[in-house]
Amino acid sequence: MKKRLTLLAVSFVFAFPSLAKEVSLNAAAAIAASVTPASPSASYDALESQSLAALRNALKGDSPTLSREQLGHSTQSATLADTAWLKARGYDFQSKARQQAGISLLSAFTAQPSPVLAANLATVTAINRDATAATRQQALADAEGISYLYFLSDALGPRLGKAFITAYDKGEIGKAAALIKASEVSTGAAKKHFNNPRPFLVSGNTIHLVPDDTVAKDQTPYTADGGSFPSGHANTGYTDALLMAQMLPERYEALVTRGARYGYSRLVLGVHYPLDVMGSRMVAQSNVAHYLNDAKYRALFNEARDQLRSALEKECGMALAQCAKTDGKNDPYRDPAMQTLYRFTMTYGLPQQKGERATLVVPAGAEALLESALPQLSAAQRRALMVKTAIPAGYPLSGTTPEQQFWQRLDLAAAYAAAKQAH
């Protein structure tokens, strides 16, 4: 135990990714573009094509072609998701209570100073304006795939990602598909509460709504209705990615980063601000930690995880640990640069407020988010790791309460990297 603690302490001197303010928008955009169909890896590009084809096929269902009308109504079929199993278990997700907890967690949104709000609009405008064609195509696929899990495949690498799509389409991971989607806590109540207009509706904005040349392929500009804060899509991306990371810890950092990359897509499309996706990260982390600390949920989770892992091993035709290994340049989500992108998306370079801050306090049970990925560490060590690798205080939404401070500053990618560096 003492040896582990010493190694952990040594790891804290290793250079963590630059703070978001030190990463330019152009640099972040270049990293984000590396995990699109424009990747230099042929096998990764093939995985992206397979994922998009599987999504389009699921969206159109039994219809001969995919129409725009189908996009907003398509959900996981009974083949893909074992909703009957989940319903029979009768678990109460306490959705309304979690929605209210989310509103409370994000209450600092109403007190953002004008420089933050100005930077909030300027940042989405720049990301939307300068996005490459491939980045826009990725954003469209992310947007229309909200009801499915296909977007997670590229974070698994070409080998495991292909096995994942195959197992998903066959209905072999139906329990995980049902549980993960049911664990998404709606942001609808929060959107109504904060009632913030989307960036493309702000007077004088220069947002470019992206024509769909990827999913429905009808060139209709992608748009969205309802309030902007927090982002429902980003909440979905973070929640799904976090839960899959718990089930597949062999790909933990790649999956966690995929959640952040999914949120980035919302700015590419010009339908959300940085604050919207930052807030969604906070509530998704809090919600997933809450569920993982519930023994009844854990029972469902373990059953779904075991089915998922068995199915993937079967489709891989080899041990899961082997199938999940990094595949060199064909595995861009394992590139260290992605950790820098994750750090960037925690603040999007928005202004930091100076001043003294209270010591960061880890909420009870938060360490569950690192449990499967870092089983060699005790709960106390994981909590210490979360504090040591957190971003500095004072960034937007960090608020005044201990929970607001913690969930905004928690950098799971850096925590995981620090532990791996030590061991």
Q: pLDDT for 275-290, tens place per residue?
A: 999 999 999 999 999 9
Q: Where are the alpha helices (DSSP H) in 293-391?
A: 295-316, 320-323, 337-347, 379-388
Q: What is the pLDDT of residue 322?
A: 97
Q: What is the pLDDT of residue 409?
A: 97
Q: Name the pLDDT band for 20 (thresholds 50, 70, 90).
A: low
User: What token pair was written down for 33?
Assistant: 């573009």
Per-residue model confidence as pLDDT tens digits over 223-245: 999 999 999 999 999 999 999 99
Whole-number percent of the chain with pLDDT over 70: 94
Q: Name the pLDDT band for 356 (thresholds 50, 70, 90).
A: low
Strand partners, 221: 211
Out of 3.40.50.2300, 1.10.8.60, 1.10.3720.10, 1.20.144.10, which CATH number does the structure's domain 16-352 have?
Answer: 1.20.144.10
| Residues 280, 179: Cα–Cα separation, whole Å | 19
Q: What is the pLDDT of residue 271?
A: 98
User: What token pair was written down for 294?
Assistant: 């519930």
Whole-number percent of the chain with pLDDT over 90: 87
pLDDT(37) > 90: no
Q: What is the pLDDT of residue 72?
A: 77
Q: Name the pLDDT band for 32 (thresholds 50, 70, 90).
A: very high
Report the pLDDT averaged over residues 99-109.
Answer: 98
Q: What is the pLDDT of residue 12?
A: 35
User: What token pair was written down for 185?
Assistant: 């806590």
- Flag the least confident range among 3-12, 59-68, 104-113, 334-343: 3-12
Strand partners, 211: 221
For the chain, the residue count is 423
pLDDT(383) > 70: yes
Q: Name the pLDDT band for 21 (thresholds 50, 70, 90).
A: low
Q: Name the pLDDT band for 358 (thresholds 50, 70, 90).
A: confident
Residue 344 parent element (H or E):
helix 337-347
* 333: nearest Cα among 235, 418, 245, 236: 245
Report the pLDDT averaged over residues 154-163.
Answer: 97
| Residues 100, 87: Cα–Cα separation, whole Å | 24
DSSP string, 155-215: GGHHHHHHHHHHHHHHTTTHHHHHHHHHTPPP-HHHHHHH-PPPGGGSTT----PPB-SSS
- Flag the least confident range among 35-44, 129-138, 205-214, 409-418: 35-44
Number of Cβ within a 10 Å radius of residue 201: 13
| Residues 124, 121: Cα–Cα separation, whole Å | 5
pLDDT(6) > 70: no
pLDDT(100) > 80: yes
Q: Name the pLDDT band for 8 (thresholds 50, 70, 90).
A: very low
Q: Name the pLDDT band for 16 (thresholds 50, 70, 90).
A: very low
| Residues 1, 195: Cα–Cα separation, whole Å | 50
Q: What is the pLDDT of residue 38?
A: 87
Q: How far is CA 68 from the centre of its chain?
A: 26
| Residues 121, 200: Cα–Cα separation, whole Å | 10
pLDDT(165) > 70: yes
User: What token pair was written down for 322?
Assistant: 């082997």
The per-residue pLDDT of the chain, averaged, comes to 93
Report the pLDDT averaged over residues 70-78.
Answer: 89
| Residues 300, 85: Cα–Cα separation, whole Å | 10
Q: Name the pLDDT band for 422 (thresholds 50, 70, 90).
A: confident
